[in-house]
Amino acid sequence: MPTLKFNRNIVISMKKSISLLTMMLLSVLAFAMVPPSAAHGYTINELWTNPMQVNDVAVSKDGNYVAAVNNTGLYFFGWDSPNPIWWYLSEAGDKLLSVAISANGQYVIFGNSTNGSIFFFGDCMGRSGLQAANGYDWVSKQFTYYSPAGNNDVERRTIDISDNGEYVVVGGTGDQVYYFIDCTTKSGTGVNWDWQCYTYDLVHAVDMSPDGRYVVAGGPWPFSPTGAVTFFKDANLPGPHSPLWYNYTLGPIVDVAVSDDGYSVAAVSELRGVPVTLYYWADASNLSGSTDISANWSRLHAFSSVDMSSDGDRVVAGYYELNVASLHYWDNARTLSGDNVTETWVRVPDLSVLDVGISDDGSLIVAGTGRPDCALFYTNDGTLVGNFTLDSPGYIVSMAGSGESAAVGGAFADSLYFYRIITTNPVGGEVLASDGLMLLAPYMALAVMVAGAVVTGVLLRRRMP
């Protein structure tokens, strides 16, 4: 059998091959250790503005449509134009304060501030032009249906719709939650809710999971510096329903959020001069009890707004006072515990944050501010990636779940702004987080094979009889 003999050149070639292998593996590991927020770059464009006041605004989850309401009616926009595709002028005396939109923009619902009724619009992408009210004439398809009067005015943050448009929850400012099922099949006037439930407080905020199964409601007690949070499970099933759990020993709640799977619930309260807090409940869909279900963690502050990623693991909250840290962010929220938990980071100490939004994956955050008025965009590592001057305070923020679009508005003239967000990968391709290391195993194996092939090739070329 022939034997292999090595000379100095072969040894040098093998050393080079091993060095190449080592460099390839170290490169893979280096990419793997980069934080998730560094995996993308963002280009944020203020695509258009519209010279109208808005009482509420909602961006579809896919980022392609915007619904806005004000004192004159409902306006439906596409992402690429400041001119509404269609609009609905409300009856004289009606003031629309709240709006919600389905994931693809096909369904829109708003609440009537005059008597608490809701108006549901189907086929939104197939409409165009004026949809004028005419004695609430639904036959002309100006709207698909409307409900009888509810308990109180349906204000901003007190209405939500499921991704597919089948389920709607309404709070208003009374002490009831109203829930509508199979909304896309209904039409006419006086269409009633499928179930309602007392909530132990005034409902100033509601949020619903995308499938309609989980609902959280919160608000203050009347004439009291305290408030409550109420949680419902399997809300999309026919009633009657009662809360799975609630806590009515909290501060006066002004905003709430629930994760897609119902695991996480967050709520914030604001009121000068009394203890006010951000509260976070983990495993919320498996809790039960009639009173004082304690939060897993909290943060003492007077917050104006809260939002969370779809899995509930990233939480952002805004604070409206000047000369303090006004934008607060927590990572790994599902695993935190304790009182007055420190934030992962805080930002904008010289601005009042009026409302916040976060993308479903938690990678991008938008904040509307006042004094001075601007819209700010941050990545989840606290990097500022967009800063836009507004002509009025950014009281209202809505971000598409996809992170592709965001809208900011307020109840002053010239206060509707729409932003389109382009996500780019860094040079060299996608960067993965360390928790995705296992996904890189095939590529690491390939690196070994390539280096091994180089070594083998050197040996074959140097093979001697």
- Full residue range of the structural domain in which residue 445 is found: 8-33+432-461
Could you read off the pLDDT of 259-286 as tens digits, one per residue? 999 999 999 997 655 567 899 999 999 9
3-state secondary structure the chain: CCCCCCCHHHHHHHHHHHHHHHHHHHHHHHHHCCCHHHHCEEEEEEEEEECCCCCEEEECCCCCEEEEECCCEEEEEECCCCCCCEEEECCCCCCEEEEEECCCCCCEEEEECCCCCEEEECCHHHCCEECCCCCCCCCCCCCCEECCCCCCCCCCCCEEECCCCCCEEECCCCCEEEEECCHHHCCEECCCCCEEEECCCCCCEEEECCCCCCEEEEEECCCCCCEEEEEECCCCCCCCCCCCEEEEEECCEEEEEECCCCCCEEEEECCCCCCCEEEEECCHHHCCECCCCCCCEEEECCEEEEEECCCCCCEEEEECCCCCCCEEEECCHHHCCECCCCCCEEECCCCEEEEEEECCCCCEEEEEEECCCEEEEEECCCCEEEEEECCCCCCEEEECCCCCEEEEECCCCCCEEEEEEEEECCCCCCCCCHHHHHHHHHHHHHHHHHHHHHHHHHHHHCCCC
Higher-pLDDT residue of 19, 187: 187
* 389 has pLDDT over 90: yes
Q: Within this chain, do residues 185 and 326 fall inside the same structural domain, yes or no?
A: yes
Is 102 a member of any domain?
yes
Predicted confidence at residue 137, as pLDDT, reads: 56
Contact 366, 344 (CB under 8 A): no
Lowest-pLDDT choice from 138-152, 269-283, 292-306, 368-382: 138-152
Q: Within this chain, do residues 186 and 298 fall inside the same structural domain, yes or no?
A: yes
Q: Within this chain, do residues 194 and 284 fall inside the same structural domain, yes or no?
A: yes
Predicted confidence at residue 152, as pLDDT, reads: 75
Q: Within this chain, do residues 171 and 195 fall inside the same structural domain, yes or no?
A: yes
Is 92 a member of any domain?
yes
Q: Within this chain, do residues 113 and 96 fall inside the same structural domain, yes or no?
A: yes
Predicted confidence at residue 153, as pLDDT, reads: 84
Could you read off the pLDDT of 401-440 as tens digits, one per residue? 999 999 999 888 778 999 999 988 654 444 333 333 333 4
Is 3 a member of any domain?
no
Output the six-digit token pair for 185: 């099949």
pTM of the predicted model, to two decimals? Answer: 0.82
Q: Within this chain, do residues 197 and 328 fall inside the same structural domain, yes or no?
A: yes
Calculate what percentage of the chain has a pLDDT beyond 70: 77
Could you read off the pLDDT of 304-357 as tens digits, one per residue? 899 999 999 999 999 876 656 689 999 999 999 999 999 999 998 778 899 999
Lowest-pLDDT choice from 197-206, 286-295, 446-455: 446-455
Predicted confidence at residue 239, as pLDDT, reads: 85
Is 1 a member of any domain?
no
Q: Within this chain, do residues 323 and 413 fall inside the same structural domain, yes or no?
A: yes
Is 452 a member of any domain?
yes
Is 2 a member of any domain?
no
Is 186 a member of any domain?
yes
Q: Mean pLDDT for the chain?
A: 82
* 205 has pLDDT over 60: yes
* 140 has pLDDT over 70: no
Q: Within this chain, do residues 204 and 227 fall inside the same structural domain, yes or no?
A: yes
Output the six-digit token pair for 443: 């590529």
Q: Within this chain, do residues 28 and 150 fall inside the same structural domain, yes or no?
A: no
Predicted confidence at residue 175, as pLDDT, reads: 87
What is the arithmetic mean of pLDDT over 110-119?
A: 84
Could you read off the pLDDT of 39-91 as tens digits, one per residue? 468 999 999 999 999 999 999 999 999 999 998 899 999 999 999 999 998 87
Is 208 a member of any domain?
yes
Calculate what percentage of the chain has a pLDDT beyond 90: 58
| Beta pairing partners, 197 | 177
CATH number for position 94: 2.130.10.10
Q: Within this chain, do residues 411 and 446 fall inside the same structural domain, yes or no?
A: no
Could you read off the pLDDT of 22-33 as tens digits, one per residue? 444 444 333 333
Could you read off the pLDDT of 153-170 as tens digits, one per residue? 899 999 999 999 999 999
Q: Within this chain, do residues 330 and 441 fall inside the same structural domain, yes or no?
A: no
How many separate domains does the chain show?
A: 2
Q: Within this chain, do residues 182 and 322 fall inside the same structural domain, yes or no?
A: yes
